[in-house]
Structure 1
Amino acid sequence: MVYYLFFVIVVIVIYLSLRTLFTPYKLRDKHLSFENFMFLVFIYLTILIGFGLIYMILELRGYDVLLDNGLPIDGNFFVKLQTVIYFSGITLFSVGYGDVAPLGIARGIAVIEALIGYAIPAAFVVRTFVEGKK
């Protein structure tokens, strides 16, 4: 039960983080300000850690969600956490080295994460210029 509650909380945090990207917000006059850059960095970090936690929750529930060099990830909690955060990062930024691969339900989650990774920069650019013209 705790895993499901934590899962729902993580999904809500990801949703709220993405919602801030699409909500009108007064940007500074500069299009490339440090504030705007940090805003984008924190959006990416929230999404990256959020999806990493989703993979970790599934892993802790007993699902094999990732293969590391062809083998299910094993080791202690911190080794697994490192692997799922790494996988989340390479998926979000569409690097995809191939050393860690998703299994089962994680494939669909990885597709959603990759789609979000592509959409964030486009949404940020559109938002910056639309707000800048107002």
Structure 2
Amino acid sequence: MTQSLVVIATIIILTNLYYFFANKYYRQSYFSTALFFKLFFVLIGVTLGFTILYYALSIQETILVYEGHSGEAADQSFSELLYFSGTTLLSVGYGDIVPVGSARFFALIQAAIGLLLPTAYFLKALGHNSNH
């Protein structure tokens, strides 16, 4: 089951990233509603994909702990993992929950995607505008 979830999560993440970077043109000026919604839904898809990945990892080991002196294991529920995934993608985390073990690597990848996707959005929007 864990391998299936990892495969599903990977497919969701890669599909959304491919969809975002697919070469499509939009007829809007500086602000493209279509490009904005594309970015919005890609961010949701990547967040859900990483949530599923974290869920798969949490089946075998504790992957989140509460920050502080206790190091107590955080709730590994889907909603808590979704919260962690969202804060990691959108703000590089708040620090109230920290990843441990194998989740640390994936949190770094997710944080990088969260920083690079909006940057790519703006570059794509500006590049498209300069072509007209």
Length-normalised TM-score, structure 2: 0.87
Shifted more, 85-94 versus 20-29: the winner is 20-29
| Residue deviations 1:61-101 (CA, integer Å, cap 9, x gap) | x2110013531134xxxx71111111111111125221111
Please tell me whether the aligned partners of residues 64 and 100 of structure 2 are also in contact (alpha carbons under 8 angstroms): yes
Q: Deviations over 1:5-62 (max 9, x none)?
A: 22112101211111122221021223313322211110110111111111111112x2
Question: Which residue of structure 2 aligns with residue 122 of structure 1?
Answer: 119
Q: Counterpart of 1:72?
A: 73
Contact 1:25–1:131 (CA<8 Å) still a contact in 2? no
Unaligned runs of 5+ in 1: none
Match of 2:128 in 1: 131
Q: Is the 8 A contact 2:66 2:98 kept in 1?
A: yes
1:43 matches 2:53: no
Q: SS where residue 52 of structure 1 aligns?
A: helix
Conserved in 1, the CA contact under 8 Å of 2:74 and 2:97?
no
Counterpart position of 1:108: 105
Verify the 8 A CA contact 1:55 1:84 in the aligned structure 2.
yes
State whether residues 18 and 43 of structure 1, in contact with CA within 8 Å, keep that contact through their aligned partners in structure 2.
yes
Hey, what does 2:78 align to over in structure 1? 81
Q: Taking structure 1 as the reference length, what is the TM-score of the superposition?
A: 0.86
How much has 1:130 moved relative to structure 2? 2.4
Structure 2: gaps spanning 5 or more residues? none
The CA distance in 2 between the partners of 1:88 and 1:12, in whole Å, is 17
SS of the residue corresponding to residue 91 of structure 2 reads: coil
* Paired residue secondary structure (2:98): strand
When residues 95 and 7 of structure 1 are mapped into structure 2, their CA distance, relative to the original with a 3 A threshold, is closer
Q: Is the 8 A contact 2:16 2:42 kept in 1?
A: yes
